[in-house]
Amino acid sequence: YIAKNKAGKLFKGTALIETEAKLVAENNNVKPKNILFDTKKSTIKWTGYGEVGGYSLTGTINLKSGNFQMENNKIKSGTIIIDVKSINHSDNHLKEHLKGEDFFDVAKYPTATLVILNSKLLSNNEIEITGNLTIKKITKPIVFIMKQNRNTFSGKITIDRTVFGVQYNSKSFFDNLGGQAIKNDFDLEFKLIGK
C-alpha cells in the first residue's frame, strides 16, 4: 500500500514491513561460529607462590583441545581441556613432584577441564566468563576476566588449589611449615589462538 508520513511524503508501507521482517529474520538466523584453538600456538603459563618472601615458581602446561561457540560476537559456550600430564618446569625434581600424588596426580587425573556457561561483555575487548572448572574430578564454579582480539583470547585465572584436593604444604591444613609453606592460590595465564 502507499501511505503518507507526517511530512506528507509517500512511502510503500508493504515494502517497508517486508524489509523489516526480513532483517529481523536474518538477525534471528545468525549461524553460530565455532572457534577451534590451535594447540601448538596457544600457551598456558602457571605460577605458584610461597608464603614467605615473595617466592614464586613459573612453568608451562599444554592445551589439549579447546573451542568457543560464538553467536552475535558473544561466547555462548565452550570447552577448554588442559593436558595436566604436560606440566613442565626447568627443575625436573619439582616437575615430577607436581605430577605426583602430593599435587595433581596426573597418572590418575591426566586432564583438567573448563566448561564455559556464560559470558558478559564488559568493554570493547574485555569479557567476564562464568564457568565450571574440573581438576582431579572435582568441579567448582569459576569467574574470570579475559580479553579478546579477533580470534585470540588471553587472560589470567587465579585458582585455589585446596578446593580441588591439592593440600600439600598449605597453611590451611598444616602447622609449623615455616619457609616450606605454599600459598593456596596459583595462577594460570593463558593465550588461546584460534585456527
pLDDT in tens, 87-102: 999 999 999 999 999 9
Mean pLDDT score, 50-68? 95
| pLDDT of residue 137 exceeding 70 | yes
Q: Which residues contact 131 (CB under 8 A, 6 or more apart)?
A: 78, 114, 115, 116, 117, 118, 141, 142, 143
pLDDT given for residue 27 in this prediction? 52
| pLDDT of residue 180 exceeding 80 | yes
Mean pLDDT across the chain:
89
| pLDDT of residue 163 exceeding 70 | yes
| pLDDT of residue 15 exceeding 90 | no
Mean pLDDT score, 142-154? 97
DSSP 52: S
pLDDT given for residue 93 in this prediction? 97
Grouping H, G, I as helix, E, B as strand and the rest as coil, residue 60 is: strand
Q: Do 11 and 24 contact (CB within 8 A), yes or no?
A: no
What distances in angstroms separate CA 161 from CA 49, 137, 142, 170, 188, one per listed residue? 12, 13, 13, 9, 12
pLDDT given for residue 25 in this prediction? 47
| pLDDT of residue 18 exceeding 60 | no
| pLDDT of residue 117 exceeding 80 | yes
pLDDT given for residue 2 in this prediction? 46
pLDDT given for residue 124 in this prediction? 78
pLDDT given for residue 1 in this prediction? 42
Q: pLDDT digits over 33-42, tens only?
A: 999 999 999 9
Confidence band (pLDDT; 50, 70, 90) for 73?
A: confident
Express as a percent the part of the chain with pLDDT over 70: 85
